[in-house]
Amino acid sequence: MKELPDILWLEEIRKEDIAAVGGKGASLGEMAVIGLPVPRAFVVTSHAFRRFLIETGLEDSIFENFENLNVEDNHALEQAAEKAKEAVLRVSMPSSLQENIRLAYQRMDEGGLIVAVRSSATAEDLPDASFAGQQETYLNIKGTDNLLKAIQMCWASLYGARAIYYRAKQGFDDRGVNIAVVVQQLVNSEKAGVMFTTHPVTGEPLTIIEGSWGLGESVVSGSVSPDKYVFDQRTGKVVDRLIANKKIEIIAEGTHGTKLVPVPSDRQDLQVLSDEEVAKLAMFGKIAENHYGIPQDVEWSIVGSSFFILQSRPITTIKSKGTETAAKAGSAGVILVQGQGASPGIATGAVVIVRDAKDTSEVKEGDIMVTKMTNPDMVPAMRKVAAIVTDEGGMTCHAAIVSRELGTPAVVGTKKATAVLKPGQLVTVDGEKGFVYEGALQTARPAEKSQAAVVASPIITATSVKVNVSIPEAAARAAATGADGVGLLRIEHLILGLSKTPGWFITNHKEEDFVQELYDGIKVVLDAFYGKTVWVRTLDAPTDEFRNMAGGENEPIEHNPMLGWRGIRRDLQSPDQFRLQVEAFKRLWEQGYDNLGVMFPMVSHPDQFVAAKKMMQGWGVDVDHATLGVMVEIPSSAILIEDFIKAGIRFASFGTNDLIQYTLAIDRNNENVADMYQPKHPAVLRLIHDTIQVCRKHGVECSICGQAGSEPAMVEWLVEHGITSVSANIDAIAKIRETVARTEQRIILDSARARNA
């Protein structure tokens, strides 16, 4: 029988070697074979690991730990895991194995090369058993001793508590689970990032590339706002670019680990990639996509003129028939909890329960975040997770809004996810249907997925189709939809992300920081929508959302913050807070951003609009030429719309999230009454219809930016009733544009038929 090798080089690896090299190793091997510039690497095979267990005698002793182990008993589980890990780390590796690794390392570059050491676990009947990154990765390792130690640490991570728990739940026998370790040249990237080889939401042939300085970790983890480039594969041109202010980078530290450092000010605003580099990366992306037959999510890096592709895996957010869950197809999908599907997409991972922002340090890339309700201070962790599940909330809650913009599947309002789901439990979240299933469910058949991703050429509609944006990092994705502008930019998310209330900035004399933060965030969106209108809404955070932040202790405690001190009411009574926002708008107007319009939330009487306008005028705004409008989200503003028009509004936009709750007395975030929250309630429709007619009579733009504007049936009704524009969520733009076009064509056809009848 052929002896199984301890070491396999990437070039030697074929797909079939998955049992020897794990999912990660096999995928790198395959990438190298199709000609992608993968950094040099060898794999310490699962055979080497077995040999280690056998020759050190661990194979017998280690698994005794797990016999009769009740994995639900946390204490026992932790103890068994600790003992097993210690045992793996304590023994020394067989010397012939050490020698094989040393020789391979030396062959890479005389043994002085800095490498990344990554676990690649395998189970007999599952190609990649490294669910949601349970096994470790060690970056920036140099020297044979450090390398051997890192490999042994990877092996030990196979017996982490979470890993044992998963395997027990998934019915894997610990004895049958193996681990391979990839030892790969660590590319000390000058610039790095990620790429989608096809537009992740619309499926258009656009390559979306994000990049920043240093190691790609800063982009992947979301700790920096990267540059964004959109490359149109049809024309071979960069059609959109967004150059961000890149404040930090992650670089290698010494011979171990990485560190986060500030980017020198002269590099912060520099463009990371030239058009030629974007085109070359897009080409590599296409090679990967063509090979796998499905759009890819690729990690890349560049050093000097050398390009590297570090990872390529299927994009999971493109919606299609192919991404239906297996459960629907009749497989054994046990539904653990159910709520509202708030952000489409399907993801599998380990549950991490987040009770408050402190717990977010536990959150790892690819986890499923389960929480009562997300808070703005959880946004950095929300960027990392594969899906979000909440107990509370509805389609318009914080978790729903932010998840949609991040493109992360989310199920909200399950009532009991934090009680039912267990830390470490493997689950599959279907953000469209609102189900959370037990275990990893089969998702898509690749061929169907890529077919369904194809979108027809852009559709022109008479009714403008705009997009909602809440976080500037979503601006490029939003712009890539081809939307006709931004119908709602919620700026409170810019402030909430700073973890300090506006009052804190004022009390601590940091007004300039506040203005700058707003200015920078809004500018990102204005740049992404150059030449298209962007309606920026003034602050509208309820007091309870400010409570956890610095300065939050001064927020009034309100019984019902939804009906409380928010929106224009608060700004009119807090001139300092209002003035700082206006200062940011003024600076942008002075910079020539004529596409900026300002929208006031929660207005109930035209006097409030007049008062706001007067204050702005007092601060030097040319209010007669500025585009100022209001949200219609309180029934009184719908009833008084003609008076608002007389007071000089240039546009009105339905905030149906609030308009529905205030018309029907249904708390929009209360899952107990969620089924009574009816966008098409006749009273709501009457208010909307009447408002549209008055706006039309006066030639004032009438729009919608509430969640109902992302629902095709409602949009059909709105177009029939004469709305001027609709503003939808990023993920809904394609279907809303199609709905608008179809409705408009039907109206024309009906009227032509009526004429000919």
Residues in contact with ligand PEP by the rule CB under 6 A: 396, 488, 490, 540, 633, 655-658, 705-706
Q: Contact region for Mg ion (CB under 5 A) — 263-271, 305-313, 314-322, 647-655?
A: 647-655
In the range 616-635, which residues lie near Mg ion by CB under 5 A? 633
Rounded to the nearest 10 degrees, how much is the dihedral formed by the CA atoms of 663, 664, 667, 668? -70
**CA–CA distance, 480 with 475 (Å, rounded to integer):** 8
Shortest approach of ligand PEP to residue 470 CB, angstroms? 8
Strand spans (E) along 3-67: 7-9, 41-44
705, interface contact from ligand PEP, Mg ion, none, CB < 5-8 Å by kind? ligand PEP
Which CB sits closer to Mg ion, 204 or 658? 658
In the 8-state DSSP scheme, what is residue 36? Answer: -
Q: Contact region for Mg ion (CB under 5 A) — 133-141, 341-349, 399-407, 655-663?
A: 655-663
**CA–CA distance, 288 with 307 (Å, rounded to integer):** 14
Which CB sits closer to Mg ion, 367 or 658? 658
Residue in 47, 398, 493, 689 annotated catalytic: 398
Q: Contact region for Mg ion (CB under 5 A) — 298-306, 414-422, 651-659, 722-730?
A: 651-659
Which CB sits closer to ligand PEP, 195 or 631? 631
For 61, other C-beta atoms within 10 Å of its C-beta total 14
- Crossing angle for the helix pair 18-33 and 46-55, nearest 10 degrees? 150
Which CB sits closer to ligand PEP, 158 or 659? 659
Which CB sits closer to ligand PEP, 21 or 704? 704
| From 658, 701, 711, 731, residue interacting with Mg ion (rule: CB under 5 A) | 658
Sheet architecture: strand order including 368-371:
335-338, 435-438, 426-430, 346-354, 368-371, 387-390, 410-412, 340-343
396, interface contact from Mg ion, ligand PEP, none, CB < 5-8 Å by kind? ligand PEP
701, interface contact from ligand PEP, Mg ion, none, CB < 5-8 Å by kind? none
> How many Cα atoms within 13 Å fall on the side-chain side of residue 691?
33
Which CB sits closer to ligand PEP, 277 or 540? 540
Which CB sits closer to ligand PEP, 296 or 538? 538
The question of whether 605 is a catalytic residue gets the answer no
Shortest approach of ligand PEP to residue 142 CB, angstroms? 50
**CA–CA distance, 525 with 534 (Å, rounded to integer):** 8
Shortest approach of Mg ion to residue 601 CB, angstroms? 6
**CA–CA distance, 488 with 725 (Å, rounded to integer):** 12
Q: Contact region for Mg ion (CB under 5 A) — 147-155, 582-590, 620-628, 658-666?
A: 658-666
545 is an interface residue for Mg ion by CB under 5 A: no
Name which of 506, 490, 408, 444 is nearest 201 in CA terms: 408
The question of whether 398 is a catalytic residue gets the answer yes
Give the type of residue at 406: L
Structure tokens of 622?
Answer: 């040319």
Contacts for 171 with CB less than 8 Å, ≥ 6 apart = none
655 is an interface residue for Mg ion by CB under 5 A: yes
30, interface contact from ligand PEP, Mg ion, none, CB < 5-8 Å by kind? none
Name which of 380, 323, 403, 387 is nearest 349 in CA terms: 387
Residue in 397, 695, 702, 705 annotated catalytic: 705
Rg (CA), the chain: 28
Kind of pairing between the strands at 533-537 and 596-600: parallel
25 is an interface residue for Mg ion by CB under 5 A: no
490, interface contact from Mg ion, ligand PEP, none, CB < 5-8 Å by kind? ligand PEP
289 is an interface residue for Mg ion by CB under 5 A: no
Q: Can you say how many angstroms the Cα of residue 406 is from the centroid of all Cα atoms in its chain?
A: 3
For 89, other C-beta atoms within 10 Å of its C-beta total 12
- H helix runs in 158-274, sequence order: 161-170, 217-220, 265-268
656, interface contact from Mg ion, ligand PEP, none, CB < 5-8 Å by kind? ligand PEP
Q: List residues near Mg ion by CB under 5 A.
A: 633, 655, 658
What residues are annotated to the active site? 398, 705
